[in-house]
Amino acid sequence: MKGSFRASMDWLHTWTGVVLGAALYMMFLAGTAAVFKEETTTWMTPELGRSADPAQALASGQARLQAIAPDARNWSITLPDGRNPSTRIAWQPRAKGEVSDDTPQKREVLDARTGQPVEARKTRGGDLFYRLHYRFEITGRNGWWLSGAAAVGMLVLLVTGVVTHKRIFIDFFTFRPRSNPQRSWIDAHVLLAVLLLPFHFMITYSGLVPIMSTVMPWGMIANYGDARPAVIQAFDQEAARRAFQAERERTPRRKPAGEPMATPALQPFLDRARLQWDGAARPGRVSVANPGDRNAVVEVSSHAEGRLSNRGERLFFEAATGKLLGASSPPKPVAQTQAVLYGLHMARFSATGLRWAYFVAGLGSTAMIASGMILWSLKRRPKRGDTPMTFGHRFVARMNVGVIVGLPIAMAGLFWANRLLPVGLADRPKAETACFFLIWAAAGVWAAIRPLKHLWTEQSIAAALAFGLLPVLNAATTNRGLLPSLAQGDWLMAGFDLTMVATGAMFAAVAWKMVRWAPAANRRKAMAPASSAA
């Protein structure tokens, strides 16, 4: 870096964007898709029925657990809601002898109306986008380190972008889509950056909070770690285990009394929890420790919706008498701040309208990153038609297409794979994930071998067809197509299909724009030598 401070910030802004642009684009697009993670998973499991009254779902879930796991160590019933229409139950088997808390749980998905198990197709669902967003689908904690570095890089881009633009507020009111491409992309980049600047900062900074125990683990290590110097410990798995164990020990826990007692109906405990919370929260999950024993404890956990903090409210009742044993202790200020920032980033608290606002703002952030990537290539495009592009510029230009359009094609390909792969295929979630990455790799190869002048048009047409035809595929392979869903008022399934149609239309508009822009660009190149000669 050299020159003035602003010139140094411009250099840092440019090269941070070049190095991290593709990773940030993937993180933001996947994170935007993950806003509707639950809805995506529901669309990808069309065998699941529609939602039902929570009281009916709770009673049927308890009856199912009593039938298949009366001697379990614990039960858990997650109630259906507008995003997850099914009842989800889990239990920890009680084997002979001592059973540790680490014994794997067994799980079932029930039809919320009938209480019968549902054999839904196995799928990664929206979790693939979620894990791609925050850990690049890399196992272990290396993915967290990479996403943490990218988030810090995004903060650098935001700060240097504000410093670099002298006319940032004047440019906010300037957008010239009919100007030359470079000028139009500059206007679009600045407009998106300024319009969504508070969201950019909030979503980037709060995104570091969920992975704080990995990128800044020393607070946890200082309280729960061993005697080694904290500065040399990147992450201490044992310290994390002790921290979670300490949290668990603050809740009422009882050993089995060895006296059999039928577990009472769980609905009265939900009614008491609603009264206790006085409308500030609503129940989302019911758990029973030591079911079928006199020392059974019923835990009612609040639903995430309507609560900004990521830490839910919990109430503990004695099953035999209904006595309130305690409640989750309020977090200390630092923990509460962490929970609020975590919740603000995840947006689980939000109703449908606010999630759409997150989704649109996320698309705007993604488009801002994409416009910056494209702008870098346009600025370095040869001014004369007979001047060849350098290898580095050709590589970035082709990579831009493979990432900016190739990733959406792969996302649509995941949905196609979900409908076309055999329902009973072994290890089906891995097969879906493999299809996603293979399609993305194919888009990258396509971007590497085809003429650059045709790439944007070709891949945009492919994306338009891949998204636009998804509702047709859904109607052909399931009984929950767009028209039946609209007729039944099933807005979750219908809304997903309509979103796919809108996405396909957007890419079709991009393809049409590129088709119209190409002749004009060729005319400008043809006129350039004559103009210079004159």
Asked if pLDDT for residue 231 goes beyond 80, the answer is: no
Predicted confidence at residue 473, as pLDDT, reads: 98
- Which token pair is 56? 């009916």
Shared domain check, 132 and 75? no
Predicted confidence at residue 235, as pLDDT, reads: 47
d(CA 508, CA 368): 20
Shared domain check, 366 and 323? no
Count of alpha carbons within 13 angstroms of residue 372, beta-carbon side: 26
For residue 20, the tally of other CB atoms under 10 A from its CB is: 20
Q: Give pLDDT tens digits for 11-65.
A: 999 999 999 999 999 999 999 999 999 999 999 999 987 777 889 999 999 999 9
Shared domain check, 59 and 29? no
Establish if 361 belongs to a structural domain.
yes
Count of alpha carbons within 13 angstroms of residue 22, beta-carbon side: 14
Shared domain check, 510 and 380? yes
d(CA 198, CA 343): 17
Establish if 214 belongs to a structural domain.
no
Among 328, 362, 389, give the residue marking a domain's end: 328
Are 263 and 291 contacting, i.e. CB atoms less than 8 angstroms apart? Answer: yes
Q: Give pLDDT tens digits for 167-178.
A: 766 666 666 666
293 three-class SS: strand
For residue 511, the tally of other CB atoms under 10 A from its CB is: 21
Predicted confidence at residue 158, as pLDDT, reads: 95
Are 69 and 171 contacting, i.e. CB atoms less than 8 angstroms apart? Answer: no
Domain range for 111: 54-120+251-328
Q: How far is C-alpha 451 from the geometric centre of its chain's CA atoms?
A: 34
Report the candidate in 377, 371, 370, 515 with the shortest Cα–Cα distance to residue 457. Answer: 515
For residue 85, the tally of other CB atoms under 10 A from its CB is: 22
The percent of residues above 90 in pLDDT, for the chain, comes to: 58
Establish if 343 belongs to a structural domain.
no
The residue with greater pLDDT, 164 or 229, is 164
Shared domain check, 381 and 323? no
Strand order in the sheet with 297-302: 106-110, 87-92, 74-78, 283-289, 297-302, 314-318, 324-327
d(CA 72, CA 396): 57
Establish if 305 belongs to a structural domain.
yes
Shared domain check, 25 and 83? no
Number of domains comprising the chain = 2
Shared domain check, 516 and 417? yes
Residues contacting residue 199 through CB under 8 Å, at least 6 positions apart? 361, 364, 365
Q: Give pLDDT tens digits for 374-401.
A: 999 888 776 655 567 788 888 999 999 9
Report the candidate in 457, 358, 349, 309 with the shortest Cα–Cα distance to residue 28. Answer: 358
The residue with greater pLDDT, 468 or 528, is 468
Segment 494-509 shows an average pLDDT of: 97
Q: Which residues of 184-218 are buried (b: 16+ CB within 10 A; e: fewer)?
A: bbbbbbbbbbbebbebbeebbbbbbbbbbbbbebe
Segment 415-437 shows an average pLDDT of: 96
State the amino acid at position 99 in one-letter form: V
Among 269, 296, 328, give the residue marking a domain's end: 328
- Which token pair is 195? 């319009």
Establish if 261 belongs to a structural domain.
yes
Shared domain check, 370 and 440? yes
Which of 39-48, 210-219, 253-262, 422-431 is least confident? 210-219
Segment 314-329 shows an average pLDDT of: 91
Predicted confidence at residue 486, as pLDDT, reads: 94
Establish if 92 belongs to a structural domain.
yes
Predicted confidence at residue 329, as pLDDT, reads: 79
Predicted confidence at residue 162, as pLDDT, reads: 87
d(CA 71, CA 61): 16
Asked if pLDDT for residue 257 goes beyond 90, the answer is: no
- Which token pair is 144? 């967290």
Predicted confidence at residue 62, as pLDDT, reads: 95
Element (H, E) at 516: helix 491-533
* Percent of the chain as helix, strand, coil, to the nearest 5: 60, 10, 30
d(CA 153, CA 28): 13
Shared domain check, 359 and 296? no
Shared domain check, 374 and 463? yes
Predicted confidence at residue 412, as pLDDT, reads: 98
Residue that the structure tokens 């009265």 belong to: 268
Asked if pLDDT for residue 445 goes beyond 70, the answer is: yes
Give me the count of residues in the chain: 534
Establish if 294 belongs to a structural domain.
yes
d(CA 90, CA 103): 12
Predicted confidence at residue 512, as pLDDT, reads: 92
Shared domain check, 292 and 434? no
Shared domain check, 360 and 468? yes
Among 296, 328, 360, give the residue marking a domain's end: 328
Establish if 320 belongs to a structural domain.
yes
Predicted confidence at residue 336, as pLDDT, reads: 86
Q: Give pLDDT tens digits for 128-158.
A: 999 999 999 988 778 888 999 999 999 999 9
State the amino acid at position 3 in one-letter form: G
Predicted confidence at residue 288, as pLDDT, reads: 96
Are 291 and 265 contacting, i.e. CB atoms less than 8 angstroms apart? Answer: no
d(CA 374, CA 452): 13
